[in-house]
Amino acid sequence: MSEIATERLAADEPGITRAAEILRQGGLVAFPTETVYGLGGDACNDRAVARIYEAKGRPSFNPLIVHLADLDAVKALVEWTDLADAAAAAFWPGPLTMVLPLRAGAPVSKLVTAGLGSLAVRMPANPAARALLRGFGGPVAAPSANHSGRISPTRAAHVLDTLDGRIEAVLDGGACEVGLESTILGLAGKPTLLRPGRITTEALSEALGRPVLARRDREAISAPGQLASHYAPRARVRLNASEWHAGEARLGFGKTEGDCDLNLSPTGDLVEAAANLFEYLHRLDASGAEAIAVMPIPHVGLGVAINDRLNRAAAPRE
């Protein structure tokens, strides 16, 4: 990946205007929240979301949290419930994330949910974050703004330690107050604590008027891509296809010998391939084919995460 000149922006009006403009252009902006700095990109832009994974050097597509400035915008993306309403009234804006069923037709990139049927939503309290979200006017996907495997950043300087030259800008809003990622409350089923944080299980139970379950399976949440409910195509998936078999849907990459049904990236661009991955698997699955054959994808850069996802899709089913 070539170096980008990362802009240092102050959290004032011109800085926030510039940051919102970068997001609208599909660029990446690290911004402060009250928990940790987030690496933000337009959640409706497949390519911007693919670039978040690339900049972080993540070896897999974990679902991302979407950040919004107001409740109406949240309700447009997820199936809102009375319990969600109670939690929002008590803790939003603030360091709470809720996982709710994704609304049919919500314009969020499939790369944000990693193909899941639920979406993590959060309304941060940090004034610079709120100003940026209002200025941009749409959902912003943002994992913590650190290179994969490094600790979460609580200052703009920490962000630059691992992401300088890999993102368009960092909005410097000083030190984060909480310094620990948001509490995640699962509301797609029974209320369940998916990640502990500043807002405790007890406080959540009280606000909801019913007990919040501790999550049972640690593994499932540290790597939600492994959840049984995680999207896998109905069709069998055959990897590293060097020729096509009759009756298969054909997913190409780069130059192809003969026809394919869809090509992740005719030019062999891994960011483009990642951006198209979930959408194209979905479309080929919907075509009704018994199997999907996928051409080899190189195991470099974003190709590692793409192969991780494809391997899971191809793994034997119960």
Which positions lie near Mg ion, rule CB under 5 A? 144
- Comparing CB distances to ligand TXA, the nearer of 184 and 306 is 184
- Comparing CB distances to Mg ion, the nearer of 222 and 287 is 222
Query: H helices within the chain, ranges in order?
Result: 13-24, 46-56, 71-75, 82-91, 110-113, 127-136, 156-163, 201-208, 218-222, 270-286, 303-314
DSSP readout, 150-173? Answer: SPPPSSHHHHHHHHTTTSSEEEE-
- The site for ligand TXA, by CB under 6 A, has a size of 26
As measured in angstroms, the least distance from the Cβ of 282 to ligand TXA is 16
Q: Binding of ligand TXA at residue 35 (CB under 6 A)?
A: yes
Contact 193, 178 (CB under 8 A): no
118 touches which of ligand TXA, Mg ion, none (CB within 5 to 8 A by kind)?
ligand TXA
Hey, is 230 helix, strand or coil?
A: coil
Q: Which residues contact 21 (CB under 8 A, 6 or more apart)?
A: none
As measured in angstroms, the least distance from the Cβ of 181 to Mg ion is 6
Tell me the per-residue interface mask from 52 to 91 with ligand TXA, x by CB under 6 A, - otherwise: ----------xxxx--------------------------
Q: Binding of ligand TXA at residue 191 (CB under 6 A)?
A: no
DSSP readout, 157-216? Answer: HHHHHHHTTTSSEEEE----SS-SPPEEEE-SSS-EEEE--SS-HHHHHHHHTSPPEEPS
> Which one of residues 16, 19, 30, 184 is an interface residue with ligand TXA (CB under 6 A)?
184
* Cα(178)–Cα(197) distance, integer angstroms: 9
134 touches which of Mg ion, ligand TXA, none (CB within 5 to 8 A by kind)?
none
Tell me the per-residue interface mask from 125 to 164 with ligand TXA, x by CB under 6 A, - otherwise: -----------------xxx--------------------
Q: How far is CA 182 from CA 98, 185, 215, 257, in A?
A: 10, 9, 16, 48
As measured in angstroms, the least distance from the Cβ of 14 to ligand TXA is 23
Q: Binding of ligand TXA at residue 97 (CB under 6 A)?
A: yes
Q: Binding of ligand TXA at residue 41 (CB under 6 A)?
A: no
Q: How far is CA 64 from CA 48, 50, 174, 310, in A?
A: 13, 11, 24, 19
* Cα(190)–Cα(250) distance, integer angstroms: 39
Site for ligand TXA in 213-242 (CB under 6 A): 221, 224
- Comparing CB distances to ligand TXA, the nearer of 65 and 74 is 65
Contact 187, 102 (CB under 8 A): no
- Comparing CB distances to ligand TXA, the nearer of 74 and 184 is 184
- Comparing CB distances to ligand TXA, the nearer of 157 and 245 is 157
Q: Binding of ligand TXA at residue 99 (CB under 6 A)?
A: yes
* Cα(130)–Cα(205) distance, integer angstroms: 27
Hey, what amino acid is at 293? A
241 touches which of ligand TXA, Mg ion, none (CB within 5 to 8 A by kind)?
none
* Cα(140)–Cα(54) distance, integer angstroms: 17
- Site residues, ligand TXA (CB under 6 A): 33, 35-36, 38, 62-65, 97, 99, 113, 116, 118-120, 122, 142-144, 181-182, 184, 194-195, 221, 224
